[in-house]
Amino acid sequence: MAGMNTLAGLICAAALSLAVAPALGQPGFGKPRPRPAPAADPAPQQPAPDEPAPADPLLASTANPAAPSWREWRDEDPERKAPTADAEPGRAYAWKSREGLRYTWSLPRDFAKGRGYDLVILCHPDRADFRWGYLNHPAGTGPRAFRPGEIVVAVDGTSAHERNPDVRTFPIDPDSIVRFRDLVLEVSRVFPTQHIYLYGMGGGGAFAQCFAARFPALADGVVAHGCGVPADCVRKGDMPVVLLHGAKDLMHPVNLSRDAARAYAGADHTSVRLRILQSFNDFPNPVRAAECIDFLKAIRTDDAAAVLAAARALLTPKPPDEYEYRCAVWYGAAREALGRLVGEGAKPIETVPTEIAAQARALIDRVEAEGARHVAALRALMAPGPIAEQPLDGNPWLGYLVAMREDFRGVRSVEAFAAEIGFDELADEHHENAASFREVWTPDGDAAEAFTTGVEGVLDAWLSDSLPLDLGSRLRFWSRRAAELKLPADALEKYEYVANWEKGWKSGLDAYETEWRKWKPD
């Protein structure tokens, strides 16, 4: 109850401050909507459930970028119902905010009136709409339900796309931020809300970070999937941010999230984590997004039992997702959460029940032992000495080491090994080299020149996962036509290391999976 009262106070304060702030003001699209004088007992004017799109000249006008197109609702959309505590738990409903933003919402499967729940708001990528949220992150009570213990809202972008009014975007401007703020306040006033977490992908992820920076009282954490962060949205703070990214993302290269992490660090933002999925692409990934929200909850709440539950969820292996994709549990995130229960880190919980602290310590010991086991496996694959002196021999230590380092970041047994071999220093240098290479490499020009440049690019950045995804296949194709393309002899000689680089990455990820599949949470 204390958490609910605190959030209610923050919401009221945020609303009051905006009422007098001339910098943002109320959003205006086309002509401003006249606002009627408040009645003695004002109540939000919502359309009837069976008529969610009343005749409204402003909302129907093409001058309003947020106005839904001629096909506002589809037959397959969820039942239209205004948010209410009397709805069926675990079922998605559709509605529209007072400002005209469509959204879906669902109640937790264990919903009970009078209890406080966390609110998760989904922001779609550019050129999508509110349907992206509930279609890719389904409500329900089954094993694939997305965040079944929270209130989940998936909202339209705050503006229509400039070329296609049937799809939405999240422009980062004052009007857009205020429209979104109004929706957050509107939903959070209906239900007793404890914490608010934002999860966005692409343009929605960038917007979520900017909204949280502008209104930290209305965001307890952000998961940004497959995107970077606008420079003017990076602020000093400690609100947890997770940068989720598939290393095989063709739409938005993984270096965007790495650059964002560096930007946050440079601004003294103290709670940012990368979650790099080495074998995944640019598709939505509700399983891993849900894990990222577990981390946000574990860092934000001061409820020791909730922290322990979130850490256990992080350490529980998940079945294959809808794409038959698996990945290792997030040991480093769980380790950071558990540390709060034993007096470690920047946000330790002061009073922790003895039994919970003991369980946390036991789990920490297991995670540290698992890290030590992986380090031992790597030592058997690598030559002694620093990482910079390792030969590119095609052995599986390469992919194994890079993936393991990210998953175990913060686990002391792995941190000690990484420091011993100088991993982070060389990896940072290689990430910078990869970024520079991406800017200059032109594979569609002269093949001999592109081949030479590509080979040198690999030799300068073989430890980075930010090199172009098609680099290896292009170099391999050209090498097979060496005589025809008149490839330089010295570049062909060095190409052997490129082949070993590809082999070491692939076989290493396979070897790592063989080992992490052995993990059992209990």
Establish if 186 belongs to a structural domain: yes
Please tell me the total count of domains within the chain: 1
Q: Is the pLDDT of residue 470 over 50?
A: yes
Residue-wise pLDDT for 148-200, tens only, equals: 999 999 999 999 877 777 889 999 999 999 999 999 999 999 888 999 999 99
Please provide the DSSP assignment of 356-417 as one string. Answer: HHHHHHHHHHHHHHHHHHHHHHHHHHS-SS-GGG----S-THHHHHHHHHHHTTT-HHHHHH
Tell me the average pLDDT of the chain.
87
Under the phi-then-psi rule, with left for phi > 0, alpha for psi from -120 to 50, and beta for the rest, what region is 120?
A: beta
What is the CATH number for 180?
Answer: 3.40.50.1820
266 within some domain: yes
87 lies in which domain range?
Answer: 2-21+58-300
Q: Are strands 102-106 and 117-123 parallel, antiparallel or unpaired?
A: unpaired
Torsion over CA: 17, 218, 299, 4 (sign) = positive
Q: Which of 69-73, 158-162, 238-242 has the highest mean pLDDT?
A: 238-242
In a domain, 333, yes or no: no
Q: Is residue 467 part of a domain?
A: no
Give the span between the Cα atoms of 454 and 491, in whole angstroms.
Answer: 9
pTM of the model: 0.85
Cβ contact 273:305 at 8 Å: no
Integer-rounded Cα Rg, in Å, for the chain is 25
Residue 189 placed within a domain = yes
The two structure tokens encoding residue 29: 């699209």
Assigned domain for 420 exists? no
From CA 244, how far away is CA 230, in angstroms rounded?
A: 16
Q: Which of 19-33, 159-173, 311-325, 367-381 has the highest mean pLDDT?
A: 367-381
Residue 131 belongs to some domain of the structure: yes
492 assigned to some structural domain: no
- Give pLDDT, residue 6: 46
